Structure 1
């Protein structure tokens, strides 16, 4: 259930509605907009009488939400959510995801050493990226593969931010590490294998930083949005969805990049959506084309694996583009963005 208050509703009347919901042992989640307040009701809303709520002062209307995800639904929040990244400087100058500008996040799959991540950060910034990606904790399919540098890698990422001014996105794997990663990162990433790690999602709901939620390689849109709902309902509304490809019968590509997810999710949710063509294809030769297609489809950002020397990358070398190639790609991306009324 969603309770829409009238424009200019009095604070005391809004609080009376919230109190009524709480007294019925339901969870009220108010969204205070610039013009009106909307209150989502979480729980078995059948115990709350719709007519009683509609009769209360300053209540405009009550809408029933049939979708199992409430807070992530566009019915709850008709306008697109814009996520502001970073803590330094004025809000007007900070990176925004979900607006007219398409934000590019670029960097290596894994942080290897301090010199490597700083040199790559400088190059991806020259290319036009606004956010540096890089893994400090690496969940790998094989236990013998490189697992990341851990906190030392986070410190290297922080050094790269200090050197370049780029914001940082990096993955958190364990619920016990959320506070540690949040100390260094500007966006906390949930990888495909952890999309339904509910303990992790709930812990991220307590974080103050935005969360980049990658789609599980097996997940439907509904399952993906329900994972987002776990984070939002736990207290963190700043969720960015990331389409990174799904498993299909095709073996030529690492995954099948589902670009239909972009316009489909735009209908279903107010949350911004970025696309990861690096993991979505697993082939560097396909990354540029799929980035352009994602822009045309309406994505709010791109996350691209890039390295000064891709052949030397300790992981995912075959899907990593060089920073020199990235610079050329960005010129082409700008043309596509302009064609669809966006900028990059």
Structure 2
């Protein structure tokens, strides 16, 4: 359920409505655009009477949201999301081009590719330091050493780093070294990982769609991250 406010509502009036929403035992999510302010109500709204909210002179109308996802719903924030990745804007009219090797294999390889990618117009560098493989015998990535190579490439080119996180045990290291944390297609529905990323990741998240996931399942995975505390999620379609 969302409360759509009338134009030119004061911060004090918004806070009064937030407190009223919280008095129902719900969480209030405020989204302020250039023209419209919306308060989303998250939780069990079955006992909320919309008419009790619509009597407020600052409320335009109250709407029920039928989709299971709330924070990732356009109704909760109708304006385009603009995610800042180390100074590079993603969303709206900003075109982000991310390029780089599937896996980090050597410093020379990554720096060469990073320079070529930047020259071609890329504004972020992607490289896999930790790699999920179908075969247990295939190259699994260089791990921490691979992240350090990506940092060296960033120092050479200035390109922000994108790399895939496969386990919650590396979240603190990714917070320190990576600018955009990728959750790969195989982990799109690793809900324990998604919740930990939402709670502990301080960087934006690039969430790839699972191998056979529906759009709703994909968005619900984004909802896991956002509901756990990280609102900066970028959806990435898998090729």
TM-score where L is the length of structure 2: 0.94
CA shift digits 1:68-115 (9 cap, x unpaired): 1111112222222121210xxxxxxx3221132432111100111222
Matched-pair contact (CA < 8 Å) for 1:195–1:227: yes
Give the root-mean-square deviation of aligned CA atoms.
1.4
The 3 A distance-change label for structure 1 pair 17 and 68 is: same
Partner of 1:168: 161
The separation in 2 between residues aligned to 1:235 and 1:33, in whole angstroms, is 21
Is structure 2 residue 61 aligned with structure 1 residue 61? yes
Q: 2 CA distance for matches of 1:204 and 1:59?
A: 35
CA contact (8 A) 2:33 2:79 kept: no
Deviations 1:9-64 (A, max 9, x none): 12222112212222222121112333342111111111222111112242222111
Q: Please, which runs of 5 or more residues in structure 1 have no aligned partner?
A: 87-93, 245-279, 281-344
Give the number of the structure whose residues are more often helix, by fraction.
1
1:5 is aligned to 5
Say yes or no: does 1:146 pair with 2:139.
Answer: yes
Specify whether residues 179 and 57 from structure 1 end up closer, same or farther in structure 2 by C-alpha distance, changes over 3 A only. farther
Residue 127 (str. 1) matches residue 126 (str. 2): no
Residue 120 (structure 1) shift: 1.1
Distance in 1 separating the partners of 2:55 and 2:65: 19
1:74 alignment counterpart: 74
For 1:307-322, list aligned pairs within 5 A: none
Whether the 8 Å CA contact 1:212–1:239 is kept in 2: the answer is yes
Aligned residues: 238
SS at 2:98 equivalent:
strand
Please, which runs of 5 or more residues in structure 2 have no aligned partner? none
Q: Is the 8 A contact 1:10 1:58 kept in 2?
A: no
Higher relative contact order (CA closer than 8 Å, sequence separation 6+) = 1
Q: Deviations over 1:169-207 (max 9, x none)?
A: 110011222221121111100001110111211122232
TM-score normalised by structure 1 residue count? 0.66
After TM superposition, list the pairs within 5 Å mapping 1:178-257 onto structure 2.
178-206=171-199, 207-244=201-238
User: Partners in 2 of 1:175 and 1:54 — Cα distance?
Assistant: 44
